[in-house]
Structure 1
Amino acid sequence: MIILAATPIGNLGDASRRLVEALETAKVIAAEDTRTTQRLLAALGIANRPRLIALHDHNEKQRAGELVELARDGDVLLLSDAGMPTVSDPGYGVVAAAAEAGVVVTAIPGPSAVVTALAVSGLPTDRFSFEGFLPRKSGERRAVFTALAREPRTMVFFDSPARVAASLADMAAVFGADRRAAVCRELTKLHEEVARGSLAELVEWAGDGVRGELVVVVAGAERAEVAFPDAVAQVGALVAQGTRLKDAAAEVAGQTGHSSRELYQATLAERASRSGS
């Protein structure tokens, strides 16, 4: 089978017992960076010397088939440099190929920068979206933020310390300076820090430079307080502009908190009323 194994995101003490046992017995390990895996084996005092196969963004398409065939004869352990494979890291292509070929895929769960940052952010955790790494260029970042401007769920992003100040400024420009956020730095490490505040405050905090690995967590948009008849009127306006009724009802429901089904039915009833008169 293919075994996806989560590795520590900073603190070596977070290596699970199952991970250590898997590393001690593995014959084949597919790793994002084989040098990082060798250092992990040494740090955990593991004497096992399995076959190491590099698996990264540039070769995953070519390697996926090979790893699936290897997994038919024995277990293949798949690691990223830190955290859970496939989450903004290599592995998705291998899992998809294995599923198509009928090869079993399982996981050794463990550390995740996404969930850890969300948990300590102080922002709502009941619903969230993970948006991966932010683009390098400001224009592309702003396009991403514009598409997410009405997203009601808490959002989690990866970013680099060299760009985070500019990214926060772009967020403030699109989401609004008062939107709540948190920048989680060096999670589980000695110098762990969580900076919380408005986007305007975090832009100022990042102005002197930020070091280390980062996760940015941003509060979702607050739903506008719109009376139901006004929401129905919004649906009608979108339909008049060419939006399908079902899509218009869903969009307005997301913005206002009203039921999509009730908005749909009310708009149909209003149409029927107008046509009857």
Structure 2
Amino acid sequence: MEQQAHIESFLNRVRRLRSQTLVLSGTYNLLIYILGSYLLACLMAWVYPPAVERTGLAIGIFLAGLAYIVFNFFIRNLFAYFSQDDAALLTESTYSDLNNSLINSSQLGRHLEGSKQASPITLEFIHELHRRTAPAVTKIDPSSVIDRSGRTRGRNYLLATLSSLILIALFIPEFLTQGYEHWVNPKSPTQVSQLQPTEPGPVISEATDTDYSIESLELTLHFPSYTGMKTESVKPSDGKIHVLPGTEVEIS
């Protein structure tokens, strides 16, 4: 019975490691999808601003991909039963030198529960199979049975995506902020065109009719020398003058 318990413990560890690997791989893919979608949305808003007018379509595509990842890596893993026999077959696909001894031990071990009704020869055969299989299983690391290439690949992709996001946030922060703003508050083409800077052109002043008037006028009269008269100032003046010929008039 000790050998059987050891075999069952090994198979249960394989099952747990497989579930953990699938969940972790799914988590990596989920984060990659969310971050990658955000970067792609910002890029579309940056390169092709009219794309933000299709917000409903973009959200639909995003949710469809999100649902696929959740179903494929989480829901299906929870509802798909992975038995000890499946774990034994998975182990033997990696370690072919077991020669089906592990799957036989897993299947025949269930007959020990009704050992009172089984023949002594059958029970002895099962115990002998367990005694031979248990030492071989002891040398196997359960983690070596699980294919972790998908998890490793997902982790590397996630690190690359995070690195890209950090570099963009450090050197081109407006790429993320403006991209988010465009999707949250989309502007119509008319509004966008109004926000575009226009080239400066020559300023043309419109001709207007202007009425000019003189509020104050001062006349300085310089009489001819033959008159012997001193210079005279007329302030204010209406501009009308009557002076001797040869008189110089200074207007100010």
TM-score scaled by structure 2? 0.22
> Based on CA coordinates, which of the two structures has the bigger radius of gyration?
2
Q: Structure with the greater relative contact order (CA < 8 A, sep ≥ 6): 1 or 2?
A: 2
- 1 or 2, which has the higher strand percentage? 1
Considering fraction of residues, name the structure with more helix.
2
TM-score, structure 1 as length reference: 0.20
